């Protein structure tokens, strides 16, 4: 290669590096809506990370500069570069985009987590993510980029308020810990949001002012609205052999979610095939073994499916099953998959639990039955199969109803509780 060619390549490389640095600098100079999770991303099957990614993405889709911050996938060596420049906002990876179906406007930043060989307790404490975030990452690197933060991590919210940054706190589960009065009374804590009335009550009992707490349901990604007739037909061809109907469950493979109950239902409804989407390898293996022990030939465990594959499966079903056992979790479980189900337009059979009964009046759920009763659930599925024939285009009243629960609508409602002066400025 000629010297001129080499000089041109070097020049282009230098220009690309300069442009990359400029982009990163410009992103940091912007005042962002920041959603933080103290988790490694991406992680298939983690519902709370689906919530995190889509909360940030929904805000970005409204036109606000939005940034999702999470811990880096791999622990990094403790080096000077990682310490001096740990905060590098950038476009999300293809893996992140595909897993959570992000729309391209959101930026992400992965915070390095040092990997130490030292046995020093002092050094380990100093480099623990909690310490790094509170004492170093937030005050020095994140604060200049933050207009407002949103997190389920109370320590992160506390760090933001102590640094003078407005905050939104998300809280989904019952806890006994009392909230710090100085933080909850601080005007920078704009709103605390939960998804269940019972959790709201426990938050009040633990010290959060009632006038700062709102209940907002989780949302759904609009990809579930897109009709996938070819994908649906492929799923039916793949799953249905001798059976006449397809019943689909999509969610965590956990007993309290009603998975074991649904296996008992499958024993009764041998003319239907039951497909389970979700769970990690260990859970899938365990349930496959349980199905063998129960001599079930009409069940399939598909494992975790991406958001690009799941909509077609939901639309392929004759009935979508939403079982749930009674117990403490039934009072606060978020109807995350209920909205995905509704967006598919496929008839739903749901259990009457505390966190779902408010949807009985909407007439978008085809059938309701009592919890912990496989006979009741089986009868309900059979009735729905007879009453609601499958429509490849879906039932329009369900699709129309669920539009209000998009992540973008949730983000807009959330911002309505934030003072104008504390909101990020819309991008031009």
Judged by average pLDDT, the poorest of 67-81, 166-180, 254-268, 371-385 is: 67-81
The distance from CA 138 to its chain's CA centroid, rounded to whole angstroms, is 24
Identical fold at 28-219+407-422 and 222-404? yes
Residue 19 confidence (pLDDT)? 43
CA distance 67 to 29: 12
Q: CA distances (Å), 356 to each of 155, 365, 406, in order?
A: 31, 10, 18
| Helices 407-415 and 47-61: angle between axes, nearest 10 degrees | 70
pTM for this prediction: 0.85
In 79-196, beta strands by DSSP E? 107-111, 114-115, 146-151, 167-170, 189-194
Extract the tokens encoding 135.
């004492």
What token pair was written down for 48? Answer: 């709370």
pLDDT at 132: 85
Is residue 365 within 8 Å of residue 413, measured between CB atoms? no
Return the CATH superfamily for domain 28-219+407-422. Answer: Glycogen Phosphorylase B; (3.40.50.2000)
The answer as to CATH 3.40.50.2000 being correct for domain 222-404 is: yes
- Long-range CB pairs of 16-25 (<8 Å, 24+ gap) are 23/90, 24/88, 24/89, 24/90
Confidence of residue 134 (pLDDT cuts 50, 70, 90): confident
Interval 338-358 mean pLDDT: 92
Between these two residues, 389 and 176, which has the higher pLDDT value?
389
H-only helix segments in 30-142: 47-61, 80-84, 94-100, 121-126, 129-132
Angle between helices 47-61 and 336-344 (to 10 degrees): 60
Judged against a pLDDT cut of 80, whether residue 116 lies above it is answered with: no
pLDDT digits (tens, 9 = 90+) for 221-256: 999 999 999 999 999 999 998 899 999 999 999 999
Is residue 118's pLDDT more than 60?
A: no
Q: What is the tally of helices (H) and strands (E) in the chain?
A: 17, 15
The full set of domain ranges for the chain reads: 28-219+407-422, 222-404
Q: What is the pLDDT of residue 358?
A: 86
pLDDT in tens, 324-338: 888 777 766 666 789
pLDDT tens digit string along 398-410? Answer: 999 999 999 999 9
């Amino acid at each position: 290669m000629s010297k001129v060619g080499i000089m041109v390549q070097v020049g282009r490389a230098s220009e690309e590096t300069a442009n990359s640095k400029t982009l990163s600098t410009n992103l940091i100079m912007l005042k962002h809506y920041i959603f933080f999770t103290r988790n490694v991303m991406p992680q298939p099957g983690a519902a709370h990370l689906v919530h995190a990614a889509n909360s940030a993405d929904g805000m970005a889709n409204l036109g606000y500069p939005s940034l999702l911050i999470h811990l880096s996938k791999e622990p990094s060596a403790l080096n000077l570069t990682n310490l001096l420049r740990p905060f590098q906002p950038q476009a999300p990876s293809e893996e992140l985009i595909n897993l959570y179906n992000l729309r391209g406007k959101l930026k992400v930043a992965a915070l390095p987590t040092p990997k130490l060989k030292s046995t020093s307790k002092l050094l380990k404490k100093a480099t623990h993510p909690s310490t790094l975030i509170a004492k170093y990452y937030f005050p020095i690197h994140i604060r200049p980029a933050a207009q407002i933060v949103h997190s389920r991590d109370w320590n992160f919210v506390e760090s933001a308020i102590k640094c003078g940054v407005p905050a939104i706190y998300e809280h989904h589960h019952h806890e006994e810990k009392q909230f710090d009065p100085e933080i909850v009374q601080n005007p920078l804590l704009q709103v605390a949001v939960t998804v269940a009335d019972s959790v709201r009550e426990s938050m009040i009992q633990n010290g959060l002012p009632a006038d700062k707490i709102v209940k907002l349901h989780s949302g759904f990604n609009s990809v579930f609205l897109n009709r996938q007739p070819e994908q649906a037909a492929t799923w039916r061809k793949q799953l249905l052999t001798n059976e006449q109907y397809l019943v689909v469950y999509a969610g965590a493979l956990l007993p309290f979610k009603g998975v074991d109950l649904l296996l008992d239902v499958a024993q009764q409804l041998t003319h239907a095939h039951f497909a389970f989407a979700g769970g990690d390898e260990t859970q899938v293996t365990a349930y496959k073994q349980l199905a063998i022990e129960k001599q079930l030939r009409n069940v399939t465990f598909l494992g975790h499916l991406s958001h690009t594959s799941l909509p077609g499966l939901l639309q392929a079903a004759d009935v979508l099953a939403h079982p749930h056992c009674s117990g403490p979790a039934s009072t606060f479980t978020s109807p995350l998959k209920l909205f995905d189900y509704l967006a598919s337009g496929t008839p739903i059979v749901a259990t009457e639990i505390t966190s779902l009964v408010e949807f009985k009046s909407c007439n978008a759920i085809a059938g309701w039955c009592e919890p912990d009763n496989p006979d009741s659930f089986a009868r309900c599925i059979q009735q729905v199969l007879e009453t609601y024939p499958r429509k490849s285009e879906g039932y329009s009243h369900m699709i129309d109803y669920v539009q209000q629960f998009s992540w973008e609508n949730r983000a807009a409602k959330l911002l309505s509780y934030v003072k104008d002066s504390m909101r990020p400025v819309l991008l031009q």
